[in-house]
Structure 1
């Protein structure tokens, strides 16, 4: 049994001005946020012994950055649209998204769907402080996309809590900092109808704008490219799994950055085929950007980014890796993801501790190769033959492709690509053909 011997101290909230200069910061010539007193140093979170004070101070600085970005989005030709339609910002629960003013005039549209913890138009707060505000936000992404004649639609999966006091939708971090240390979210008062979670937000936004994107009566209107991150990709995959027939004539390609979706989320055979042939996943990995990574989770081919934080992937890989691939899709949609045949058993041996089995990678008779079924047969002669092939460097034929071990080996990748070019157009191998050969499809990272 406990007895209170001292009253709980109730501290008054400390308010900070939404003003960079008064907070002790400025934006330098390199577009970085720096301390006025220490121009070589960035934001310092731990300035007070009370965590709540630090939290509210950070929120004041974040609001300064949001206002800077709002101005820059306007300068780049993007306008905020509030959903549900007809909402009055400040009085009605609503969520803002960004749409480029030329959306109805362009032939190509880049749809950006971010993660569930970031403000609208932000990739990485860490990168905004480091290389610069434009780099860490979506401004750099927007500018390079505009040079390639893309119109833009930017969804808002992060600001999913509506604050009547502030009169706007905010991220959970902002909600917590602006209200109280342990805020309760009222699922009626603090949610926007139709945008209660990431899946509903994506469904509502795409349902609202599809008339401007995919036309009517099945007629193709625009070419759509998706750039997605984290839970945003999961929400899109769940939406397309149900609605892909309506959108498939328009969708050209999809990039999934550290996505949370898995093969189990895809039941549509058409969507599965699209992800295999027109989608790529980029993950946190130490290998050089664009290196093929044997990874079964996403259905689509997976590549490294040389990043250690998921939030820094797009700012650092978009210009040199992702955008060039979108251009490849535009030039050759049927060959943008060359098919390579992967011996997953050998790959598993290279990935220590991954999978926990030592059997053959060949699916059992009647099994769907997309389910990654394996048998336990161990053909010693077959293993010896594969070892000789790997050590001797024999020329790859169709049989040799099946025996390839590590696509990250540049010499093997180059020889395999040559064989693919000689034996047939990439992407023409059917699932049935793969099944008969006892292999599964992967990708060769040619960037």
Structure 2
């Protein structure tokens, strides 16, 4: 009887979390290239076995994340562990980044990244491809925000909080949290195990889901790190919009935050306004102090819809706020990259509202509509063969005469599956069938 031991299973492939050991380097344009051929970017399909490819990408992404974290720290951000008060890194915790001088800031920008991305990452297609590490990560966003002013009377840059919406699964062996895709690619007992299983031990207190993480950021993190009168600007990416809007829509929560939240930039989110119940949050805040930036082929900043929606476009516009093009036609993850100048520029516009005035979105006259293509059948009459046209007219005449004889209706319709052929046409068809090798039915 055949018996296979656990020790006989193929070992899970292991790759070093180091760019140079993986065969890559960062060139002078801040792009990751292959050492053996600097013209090549990251090569995912290097093996026929998908597990080997996933394990290599896992190590590659982690190596890049540590590079991003190092750059964020050089920009003055400090890594903090949640839940607040966590000191032992061996215990389950979720990292976030907070400005080291945030306690002195009169304005704070809180960024909730996509729920499928690693902390500090915007788009791996940019980080590991054309564009480079800074452009495809939060490094570019943080750098741009640090050039802004907090208010007309405060020329210092705003404080920044980078929430961690994607990495919420605790990986004990690595002593860190991972995203769902990274957890699936993390080391297993063998290369042929089905998957890593999420159990109770993989949960982080108060941060085991994106919804809980949003609540922890608002209820504990922001009050702990910021001044009580600091104004809060919020940027949400992708599906994070669902959880942030859902939280702020709660009347008890909105009563607490309505005096502090200055504006909300929804980048790539699609949360429908009819799921929101708080009239004050929807008809006052979203209408007047929020903007959505969607994927679109239109230039960044073009107005797609007003708060009421735009029935002249197939783009989803029922979000309760003015909607603009991000300048990115395809990918939600690159919408903030493509529209950063417009999006962050609007945050600065809100922050520079004169003292004593309350910012309100201006009225937008929306002319945008999807282009209408002419679907009428083109006129092919100039291309008709005069001889064939004459034959067609003769056939139509013969058909009409036969119908009139049988039914008395000179306008009888022709059946779609029958074609009336003359004797000459039938003989020609037989000759063509013989040429094509078809067997003629002699019966």
Same fold (TM over 0.5): yes
Residue in structure 2 matched with residue 222 of structure 1 by the alignment: 230
Q: Is 2:327 the partner of 1:306? A: yes
Distance 1:19 1:349, change over 3 A: closer
**How many angstroms does 1:187 deviate by?**
4.0
Contact 1:90 1:166 in 2 (8 A): no
User: Residue deviations 1:252-279, cap 9 Å, x none?
Assistant: 1111011142113321122112111111
Alpha-carbon distance in structure 1 between the residues aligned to 2:162 and 2:265: 15
Q: Is 2:277 the partner of 1:255? A: no
Distance 1:34 1:347, change over 3 A: closer
Contact 2:233 2:264 in 1 (8 A): yes
User: Residue deviations 1:213-271, cap 9 Å, x none?
Assistant: 7755xxxx111111110121111111111111101111111110111421133211221
Q: 2:215 aligns with which of 203, 206, 227?
A: 203
**How many angstroms does 1:212 deviate by?**
4.3
Distance 1:16 1:351, change over 3 A: same
Alpha-carbon distance in structure 1 between the residues aligned to 2:226 and 2:275: 24
Residue in structure 2 matched with residue 360 of structure 1 by the alignment: none
Alpha-carbon distance in structure 2 between the residues aligned to 1:162 and 1:185: 11
Alpha-carbon distance in structure 2 between the residues aligned to 1:126 and 1:265: 33
Secondary structure at the counterpart of residue 350 of structure 2: helix
Residue in structure 1 matched with residue 111 of structure 2 by the alignment: 112
Secondary structure at the counterpart of residue 68 of structure 1: helix
Distance 1:179 1:338, change over 3 A: same
Q: Give the number of the structure whose alpha-carbon radius of gyration is greater.
A: 2
Residue in structure 1 matched with residue 203 of structure 2 by the alignment: 191
Q: 2:163 aligns with which of 147, 155, 158?
A: 155
Distance 1:279 1:154, change over 3 A: same
Distance 1:268 1:19, change over 3 A: same
- The 5 Å alignment of 1:121-136 reads 121-129=120-128, 130-136=130-136
Contact 1:34 1:41 in 2 (8 A): yes
Secondary structure at the counterpart of residue 133 of structure 1: coil
RMSD value over aligned CA atoms?
2.6
Residue in structure 1 matched with residue 352 of structure 2 by the alignment: 331
- The 5 Å alignment of 1:407-418 reads none
Q: Is 2:337 the partner of 1:315? A: yes
Residue in structure 2 matched with residue 28 of structure 1 by the alignment: 27
Q: Runs of 5+ in structure 1 lacking a partner?
A: 353-447
Contact 1:82 1:97 in 2 (8 A): yes
Alpha-carbon distance in structure 1 between the residues aligned to 2:5 and 2:105: 64
Distance 1:239 1:222, change over 3 A: same
User: Residue deviations 1:119-138, cap 9 Å, x none?
Assistant: 11111111112211011000
**How many angstroms does 1:282 deviate by?**
0.7
Q: Is 2:285 the partner of 1:274? A: yes
**How many angstroms does 1:314 deviate by?**
0.8
Contact 1:176 1:182 in 2 (8 A): no
**How many angstroms does 1:342 deviate by?**
6.3
Greater RCO (Cα-Cα under 8 Å, separation 6 or more): 2
**How many angstroms does 1:349 deviate by?**
10
User: Residue deviations 1:165-198, cap 9 Å, x none?
Assistant: 1111111121111133633433411111211211
- The 5 Å alignment of 1:54-203 reads 54-129=53-128, 130-148=130-148, 149-180=157-188, 182-203=194-215
- The 5 Å alignment of 1:6-17 reads 10-17=9-16
**How many angstroms does 1:341 deviate by?**
6.1
Deviates more, 1:328-337 or 1:189-198: 328-337
Contact 1:277 1:336 in 2 (8 A): yes
Contact 2:15 2:56 in 1 (8 A): yes
Alpha-carbon distance in structure 2 between the residues aligned to 1:51 and 1:291: 42
Alpha-carbon distance in structure 1 between the residues aligned to 2:346 and 2:299: 16
Alpha-carbon distance in structure 1 between the residues aligned to 2:147 and 2:13: 45
Alpha-carbon distance in structure 2 between the residues aligned to 1:81 and 1:159: 14
Deviates more, 1:159-168 or 1:42-51: 159-168
Secondary structure at the counterpart of residue 200 of structure 2: coil
Distance 1:6 1:80, change over 3 A: closer
